[in-house]
């Protein structure tokens, strides 16, 4: 009997060993101190939010299925804080999505909050502030998730690099927020600079510039230089965390092959200009096959806006040239800002890579039509969906729904459609008066949901803005794009159900529509919003609830605000 038991134990041991993963998942532990410091990322000195003294913050490097633990100490002194892990679906940990007002109470000044979550997919992601408008003050960074040891990507490269693109304001987020939320609507205007990996170059001779705050010789604002070895292939993971701007990115004299978008493999295609919108990430392959005796410009330009912001410049440094040696040529011009065709065509071109296609469900259970409009609400200028502008509740929705505190927000759901027959998307909104809501959309668990985003004219005549829409907690299939007004009877027949790319952020082009589909299969409460800071601040977003009864016990660390003050906090 004993020999049979030993034999059984040995057999079970062999099975466990045989089925064990090649490498155990790791725990990656970070300690971050978030505070204001004076910095000069574009030569102009201002208060900047830093992580451990840096902006951009530290890059999180991990492998698929690793656990990330980040201990965040809020040393901002007078401001609350929350950090969103953009592109990480937070399966099983919806309370660590890092969205103040939706999944947690903010981190109070002086407090330390611990985020703990699993990065379950390889790919290129980001993190950034999700309280007020703090993202544009410098709180952001890259997340790079690699495959486990022994596994390889479906494309080859020699080196892996991350690049963050951003626009940069000299005025504080307080000044911008005050202007956006006043009866006498005041906009701070276009950003002063474009940053590449946290570095730019503002012209200190610009009229009205305080000379004591601008120093062109400050080494902080020397151009970012990426050193490369000739004859190699580089994977550049490009992330946009812009507050406002849609961008074009190019490397002088080099083609870029797009291979990944928002963590999903793309059927490869070649571009000279990569169009990228706030909240998006791409991986491109670049071959260093040009004249190695010189350096080259890497540039970023504003598109979709007639902007006054000068291009962002960096140096693509061929070793052994000096990394600060300027290229012998002038920087290449960017594409014309108002040319929608190449931007629209790039969006349509992005398909899932063969061999890595996840087919979408053939039919939706629910269809929502989201009209992107501007309204005047009681004298305030607002961005709206179906003429209803969104306000966050004072009690985070995840806690309110899980704890049945339904009195904390409006129970009448927002509208999920509009009168498309009467709609003229090319005229200034005739229904200028709008309303506000703090209600949410409650979705049946595991339902297939279609959202059609329809763009229109803003409150400014002959103006339709680009809106990059980001969904928390999910990836969605991009079913299609179209010019003009969406036809709910004819246009769904044109959807791509064969090889649509999956993403978490998608552009809505001027006077156009974008259709996405997702499965409501991640228990929690998830924000869906325009990733332009000012637009979301002014109400351009919605909240989806799904499977709240399947959410586990909430940690007390996310509580302490609104109606959750009754709950103890450690």
CB 75 within 8 A of CB 34: yes
Domains 15-146 and 366-564 share a fold: yes
Of 373, 192, 383, 350, residue with least CA distance to 276: 350
Q: How far apart (Å, rounded) are the C-alpha atoms in residues 55 and 51?
A: 7
Q: Is the pLDDT of residue 279 over 90?
A: yes
Res. 567 pLDDT band, cuts 50 70 90: confident
Q: Is the pLDDT of residue 1 over 50?
A: no
Please give the pLDDT value at position 25: 82
User: Of residues 19 and 531, which shows the higher confidence score?
Assistant: 531
Q: Is the pLDDT of residue 12 over 80?
A: no
The SS3 of residue 268 is strand
**Beta-ladder partners of 452:** 369, 515
Q: Is the pLDDT of residue 362 over 90?
A: yes
Please give the pLDDT value at position 429: 74
Residue 312 CA, distance from chain mean position: 20
Please give the pLDDT value at position 5: 41
Q: What is the pLDDT of residues 366-385, one digit of tens each?
A: 999 999 999 999 999 999 99
Q: What is the pLDDT of residues 106-136, one digit of tens each?
A: 999 999 999 999 999 999 999 999 999 999 9
Q: What is the pLDDT of residues 146-184, one digit of tens each?
A: 999 999 999 999 999 999 999 999 999 999 999 999 999
The SS3 of residue 321 is coil
CB 509 within 8 A of CB 454: no
Place of tokens 């550049």: 236
Q: What is the pLDDT of residues 313-348, one digit of tens each?
A: 999 999 999 999 999 999 999 999 999 999 999 999
Please give the pLDDT value at position 22: 40
Q: List, as one string, the DSSP characters of 192-240.
A: SEEEETTB----TTSTT--GGGB-TT-GGGSPPEEEE-TT-EEEEEEEE
Res. 238 pLDDT band, cuts 50 70 90: very high
Q: How confident is the model over 514-536, as a mean pLDDT?
A: 98
Please give the pLDDT value at position 396: 98
Please give the pLDDT value at position 568: 54
- Measured from the Cβ of residue 319, the count of other Cβ atoms closer than 10 Å reads 14
Please give the pLDDT value at position 420: 86
Q: What percent of the chain has pLDDT over 90?
A: 91
Homologous superfamily of 159-349: Cupredoxins -  blue copper proteins (2.60.40.420)
Q: How confident is the model over 30-35, as a mean pLDDT?
A: 98
Q: How far apart (Å, rounded) are the C-alpha atoms in residues 100 and 445?
A: 23
Q: What is the pLDDT of residues 435-455, one digit of tens each?
A: 999 999 999 999 999 999 999
Q: Is the pLDDT of residue 276 over 90?
A: yes
Q: List, as one string, the DSSP characters of 335-359.
A: PPTT-HHHHHHHHHH-BBPTT---P
Res. 570 pLDDT band, cuts 50 70 90: very low
The fold adopted by the segment(s) 366-564 is Immunoglobulin-like (2.60.40)
Q: Is the pLDDT of residue 11 over 70?
A: no
**H helices within 287-408, ranges in order?**
340-349, 397-402
Tokens representing 253? 């004299």
Judged on CB neighbours under 10 Å (0-12, 13-18, 19+), 38 is exposed
Res. 421 pLDDT band, cuts 50 70 90: confident
Q: How confident is the model over 516-537, as a mean pLDDT?
A: 98
Q: How far apart (Å, rounded) are the C-alpha atoms in residues 487 and 464?
A: 19
Q: Hey, where are the domains in the chain?
A: 15-146, 159-349, 366-564
Tokens representing 174? 């307080």
Q: What is the pLDDT of residues 174-216, one digit of tens each?
A: 999 999 999 999 999 999 999 999 999 999 999 989 889 999 9
Across the chain, what does the average pLDDT equal?
A: 94
Q: What percent of the chain has pLDDT over 70?
A: 95
Q: How confident is the model over 73-81, as a mean pLDDT?
A: 97
> What is the C-alpha radius of gyration for the chain, rounded to an integer number of angstroms?
24
Place of tokens 């803003």: 458
> CATH top-level class for 15-146?
mainly beta
Tokens representing 289? 């096959």
């Amino acid at each position: 009997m004993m020999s049979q038991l030993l034999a059984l134990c040995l057999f079970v041991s062999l099975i466990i060993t045989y089925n064990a993963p090649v490498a155990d998942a790791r725990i990656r532990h970070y300690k971050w101190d978030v505070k204001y410091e004076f910095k000069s990322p574009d030569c102009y000195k201002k208060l900047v939010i830093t992580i451990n003294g840096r902006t951009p913050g530290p890059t999180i490097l991990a492998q698929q299925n690793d656990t990330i633990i980040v201990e965040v100490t809020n040393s901002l002194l007078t401001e609350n804080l929350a950090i969103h892990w953009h592109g990480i679906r937070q399966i099983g940990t919806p309370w660590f999505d890092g969205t103040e007002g939706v999944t947690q109470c903010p981190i109070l000044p002086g407090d330390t909050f611990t985020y703990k979550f699993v990065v379950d997919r390889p790919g290129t992601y980001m993190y950034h502030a999700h309280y007020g408008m703090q993202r544009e003050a410098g709180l952001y960074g890259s997340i790079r998730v690699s495959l486990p040891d022994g596994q390889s990507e479906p494309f080859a490269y020699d080196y892996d690099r991350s690049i963050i693109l951003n626009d940069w304001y000299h005025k504080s987020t307080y000044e911008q927020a005050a202007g956006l939320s006043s009866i006498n609507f005041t906009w701070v205007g276009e950003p002063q600079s474009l940053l590449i990996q946290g570095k730019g170059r503002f012209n200190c001779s610009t009229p009205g510039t305080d000379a004591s705050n601008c120093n062109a010789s400050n080494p902080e604002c020397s151009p970012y230089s990426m050193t490369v070895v000739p004859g190699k292939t580089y994977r550049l993971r490009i992330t946009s965390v812009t507050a406002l701007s849609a961008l074009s990115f190019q490397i002088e004299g080099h083609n870029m092959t797009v291979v990944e978008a928002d963590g999903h493999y793309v059927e490869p295609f070649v571009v000279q200009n990569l169009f990228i919108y706030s909240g998006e990430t791409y991986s491109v392959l670049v071959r260093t096959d040009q004249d190695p005796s010189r350096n080259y410009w890497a540039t970023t330009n504003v598109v979709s806006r007639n902007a006054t912001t000068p291009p962002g410049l960096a140096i693509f440094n061929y070793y052994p040239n000096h990394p600060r040696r300027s290229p012998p040529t002038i920087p290449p011009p960017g594409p014309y800002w108002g040319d929608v065709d190449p931007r629209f065509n790039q969006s349509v071109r992005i398909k899932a890579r063969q061999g890595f296609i996840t087919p979408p469900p053939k039919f939706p259970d629910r269809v929502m039509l989201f009209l992107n409009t501007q309204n005047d609400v009681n004298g305030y200028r607002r961005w709206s969906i179906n003429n209803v502008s969104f306000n966050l509740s004072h009690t985070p929705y995840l806690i309110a729904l899980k704890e049945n505190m339904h009195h904390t927000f409006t129970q009448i759901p927002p509208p999920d459609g509009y009168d498309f027959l009467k709609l003229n998307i090319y005229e200034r909104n005739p229904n200028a008066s709008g309303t506000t809501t703090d209600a949410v959309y409650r979705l049946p668990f595991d339902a297939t949901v279609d959202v059609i985003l329809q763009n229109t004219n803003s409150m400014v005549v002959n103006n339709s803005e680009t809106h990059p829409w980001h969904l928390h907690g999910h990836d969605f299939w991009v079913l299609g794009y179209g010019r003009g007004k969406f036809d709910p009877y004819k246009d769904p027949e044109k959807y791509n159900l064969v090889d649509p790319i999956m993403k978490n952020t998608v552009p809505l082009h001027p006077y156009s529509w974008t259709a996405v589909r997702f499965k409501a299969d991640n228990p929690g409460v998830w924000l869906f919003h325009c990733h332009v800071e000012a637009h979301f601040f002014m109400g351009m977003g919605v909240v989806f609830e799904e499977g709240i009864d399947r959410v586990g016990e909430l940690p007390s660390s996310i509580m302490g605000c609104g109606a959750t003050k009754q709950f103890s906090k450690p």
